[in-house]
Amino acid sequence: MEMPLRYGCNPHQRFARLVIDDAAPLRVLNGAPGYINMLDALGAWQLARELKEATGLPGAASFKHVSPAGAAVAAPLNDAFRRSQMIPEGDLSPVATAYARARGGDRMCSFGDVAAVSDEVDADLARLITREVSDAVIGPGYAPEALELLRAKKSGSYLVIEIDPGYEPPQREDRDAFGFRLEQDRNTARIGPDIIKDVVSQRKDVPDDVIRTLIVATIALKYTQSNSIGLAYQGQVIGMGAGQQSRVHCTRLACGKAEKWLLQQHPKALGLRFREGLGRPERTNVVDQFLLWDELSEAERTATLAQLEEAPEPITPDERQEWVFGFDGICLSSDAFIPFRDTVDRASRTNVQYVLQAGGSLRDEDVTAAADQYGMVMIHSGMRWFLH
Positions marked active-site: 64-65, 227, 388
- For residue 234, give the nearest of 346, 118, 105, 321 by alpha carbon: 105
240 neighbors 224 (Cβ within 8 angstroms): yes
Cβ neighbours for 211, distance < 8 A, ≥ 6 positions apart? 193, 196
Cβ neighbours for 208, distance < 8 A, ≥ 6 positions apart? none
For residue 17, what are the β-bridge partners?
Answer: 4
For residue 330, what are the β-bridge partners?
Answer: 352
- DSSP of 198-209: EE-SS-----HH
Cα–Cα distance measured from residue 165 to residue 39, given in angstroms and rounded to the nearest whole number: 17
Q: Amino acid identity, residue 313?
A: E
- For residue 96, give the nearest of 120, 69, 65, 66 by alpha carbon: 120
Q: In the chain, which ranges are continuous DSSP H helix? A: 35-55, 79-85, 94-104, 123-131, 144-151, 208-222, 247-263, 267-270, 280-291, 298-305, 317-324, 342-348, 364-373
Burial bucket for residue 385 (CB in 10 Å: 0-12, 13-18, 19+): buried
Cβ neighbours for 71, distance < 8 A, ≥ 6 positions apart? 47, 48, 51, 59, 60, 61, 62, 102, 105, 216, 219, 220, 236, 237
- The SS3 call for residue 125 is helix
What is the 8-class DSSP label of residue 384? Answer: -
Rounded to the nearest 5°, which phi and psi values hold at 31?
Answer: 85, 180
Burial bucket for residue 301 (CB in 10 Å: 0-12, 13-18, 19+): middle
For residue 172, what are the β-bridge partners?
Answer: 185
Q: Amino acid identity, residue 72?
A: A
